[in-house]
Amino acid sequence: MKKFFILSFAAIIITTTAHETFAQKERRVIQLSGVVLGVDEKEVATQLPGVNIYVPKAGRGTTTNVVGFFSLPVLVGDSIVISYVGFERQSYIVPDHPSEFLTLVIQLIPDVTYLNPIVILPFPTEELFKEAVLALNIPTDDGSIDRKNINQELLALMLKTTPMDGPQNQSYYLNQMATSQGTQYAPVTNPLFNPFNWAKFFRSLNNNKKK
C-alpha cells in the first residue's frame, strides 16, 4: 500500500512537470527590447540606466545600460516587472506578438513623497525667541572699542609676524619651483669661499665689540 502511494505521487509530479514543460514549449519565445525613460526636475525625458527588468516567476531578468536600453528573451504571456528607485513599479504582460522581436518605450512615473514643511528655530518656542532678542543689550557707541587694539605699532608688529596664508604659500612655492628650474644647471657656489662675506662677518664682530 505504501509503495502504491509513493508511485502515485511520483506519477503526479512527473505528469505536472511534463505538462508545464509542454506548455512552455507551446509558448513562443520573443526577444523583448526597448528603452526606459524617466522625467528629471525640468520635466525632460531622459534615459534611465540600471533599471531592473525581470520575470519573477521565471527567475530571469536584466538591467538597462547607460543609455537606458535593454534586451531580454521572454515567453508569450510572461509578466514582466520594471522597477527603479524613485519611480513607481510597472508591470507588462508579453502579448502574442506575430513577430519574434518586440520593441517598447517604457515611461516610468516618479514616485514623489511630499513632507510637511518644518521650521527649525534655536529656541523651543517663538515666544522664548522673541524674549531673548528683546533682552539683548548691544552697545551702539564707540566706547566699546579698545583703542589699544588699533595701535599702529601693534598692528605693524602683527602684520610682520603673521604667517603666510594659503595663497601666499602657493605663490612662494611656485616661485621656488620656477627658480629651481632656471638654476638647476647653473654652477653652485659656496658662500664660505666669498671674501666679501668674510669681510661682512668680521665687520659685524667689530660692531658688536664696540657696543
Let me know if residue 79 belongs to a domain: yes
Let me know if residue 9 belongs to a domain: no
Domain with residue 84: its CATH number is: 2.60.40.10
Q: Provide the whole-model pTM.
A: 0.44
Are 101 and 30 contacting, i.e. CB atoms less than 8 angstroms apart? yes
* 69-109 tens-digit pLDDT: 999 999 999 999 999 988 999 999 999 888 899 999 999 98
Let me know if residue 87 belongs to a domain: yes
Let me know if residue 161 belongs to a domain: no
Let me know if residue 32 belongs to a domain: yes
- Residue 53 belongs to domain spanning: 28-107
* 125-172 tens-digit pLDDT: 778 877 877 777 655 555 555 666 667 887 788 778 888 878 888 888
Let me know if residue 186 belongs to a domain: no
Per the structure, how many domains does the chain have? 1
Let me know if residue 42 belongs to a domain: yes
Let me know if residue 15 belongs to a domain: no
